[in-house]
Structure 1
Amino acid sequence: MSQLFTPITLGALPLPNRIIIAPMCQYSADNGKATPWHTIHLGNLSHSGAGLLIVEATAVSPEGRISDRDLGLWDETTTQALADVVTAVKQYSRMPLGIQLGHAGRKASCAVPWQGGGQISATEGGWQTLSASALPFNSQDQIPQAMSLEQIQQLKAQFVAAAQHADGIGFDLIELHAAHGYLLHQFLSPLSNQRTDQYGGGLANRMRLLLEIFSEVRQVIPAHKVLGVRISASDWVDGGWDEPQSVELTAALKQLGCDYIHISSGGLSPQQQIPIGPNYQVPFAETIKQKVGMPTIAVGQITEAEQAEAIVATGQADMVALGRGILYNPRWPWHAAAKLGANVKAPPQYWRSEPQAVKGLFKE
């Protein structure tokens, strides 16, 4: 029996298999509001047969957007726009839906990727960025404003409000984005956090903001609602955030009731040296799973069914997440199930596409 296609329960949420669709920015929002693009994009992926679909990084405030085309969830208007998308997707799909909430910090105020992706100035339509310390990501970027304690309190309230909005419009799972060099990662890493107050210095202080946000969000959403965190397990820079610190952070999150950890890496520094290749981040997931015992999601260059099966079957991670691979092949779980002798949920409108060689592949 394929282990990739066995069910798993996160918190109180049952998933039919171990394939997760990772959050993938679409840069297609209108002043933070979801658009018909999101309905089409997410509706398509909701029929892929994956166990869970997590909506792209969604900003908790306007200044927290990577670009001015980022999805947001900070007021009634942005909430209603996304609610319309969730309603449309859930009308025709029973796939659980999650959302990733984040703030870009010093990596905000950028052009969309297909327009270069570089940071833009206020005269070009950009805005003042925020960070743990007044240290830019690149030497040519604007200097971010080091957040005051008052701004930190405001940030926590923004995450709490966004989580309440997400819960209210029907998301089954909420993920806090503390990876890829964005704001919460900027507080975690000693490379970007040179504060001298209670949010800087030693590991306990650098973890403080993420742990406080997690605790406050956990308190305001229902107990059955899944709450997890995505981290970069390493900055891939000497003296930066690394695997041992990630283990300690995950253990602290587990104590607070975290339901899973989604393990990526990098994104904090242009000096990173990443040995990119198949499974290059999986060892981080394996170490954290073994040492902490929290359900883990592995991600990064996982493209083949047999590869994903091996990661789960050997216990390196509990789940695998697909990003670029499922954009390229939105029916990846169908094809994986066919290869691994499993079956997968598909809408009855598509059942007649089932190949003769794998009769019984689809189920409702």
Structure 2
Amino acid sequence: MARLRTVSPNSKGWTRRRAGRGFVYLDGAGVRLPAEDVQRIRDLVIPPAWQDVWICPHPNGHIQAVGVDAAGRRQYLYHPDWRAKRDQLKFDRVAQVAQRLPDVRAMILQHLALDGMPQERAVATAVRLLDLGYFRIGSDAYADTNGSFGLTTLQKRHVRRRQDQLVFRFTGKSGIEHLIEIDDPLAVAAVETMRRRRGGGDRLLAYKERLWTPMDASMVNTYLREWTGADITAKDFRTWHATVLAAAALADSDEPGDTKTSRKRAVVAAMKEVSSYLGNTPTIARSSYVDPRVIDLYEDGVTIGSAVRRSYDSPDEKQLAIERAVSRMLDSAPEQLGRASRTRALTR
């Protein structure tokens, strides 16, 4: 692992200028960079649509590039080693958050039972939908610029009632079409109240404290922090569910897992399944959402097979049991992976 250098995009760096169908790359003095530096920059795969691009002059800088995307948001490309450290901290934190989910869900159910549509009930509905439907939280910039939607930017037209279900159809990030069905009675009742309301604009999620007011993403994250006292965000639900889905898919794989090729096929199939729920690609599911320890443990023969194959009285009971099994497996990961590493060393 490289010794990283902390850098700031506010310091002097390199930039790029469009030339024909591509770019030329310039140092801080406006001089074209040599071929070896250009190749390093190309290896970063900076999106062509980014504007105001800053490029780190140092190969070991913890930030490698910064730019403004088409939605006007500042985006960062980090050194792979920096991202690996950050990702592990993220997954460790999400695993800790998961242990609090039963209490969070109990609080959500209490707020869903409130009369009327105060802010607590409306935001609790959003969190319930995040938990059941694996939605992205949503961005006003993406909705306005790209016509792509997440939970808090959905409009009334994106959902309909079908018997006892809610059926969501909408275009999400990267133009991916989503079809999500929710059959939770409390969520159905709350969403129907919002959908049938008069006033408050076209946004689906809204609360009423004298007048109907549309909800935004910041309300969801504020609600989670204030009511739980924990560092929980909307995205944590997608990350945790992706990890649980991957663990269950690997445990229930048709692949025997007795060869490297078989295990690779199982992982590929599991990522496809996870991405089908998240509405993204298998590559994004694996790189950004699934805790890599789940895959590492599977490759060393550790799964949650007993929890997946057991019989349960209800879907909620099964979900809770599988989540607890995943939590236990992740807690044991250092010991399990360390034992496997020592075994491999002894057999060489």
With the shorter chain as reference, the TM-score category is under 0.3
Q: Flag the structure with higher helix content.
A: 2
- Larger radius of gyration between Structure 1 and Structure 2: 2
- TM-score normalised to the size of structure 1? 0.25
Q: Which has the higher contact order (CA 8 A, sep 6+)?
A: 1
- TM-score normalised to the size of structure 2? 0.26
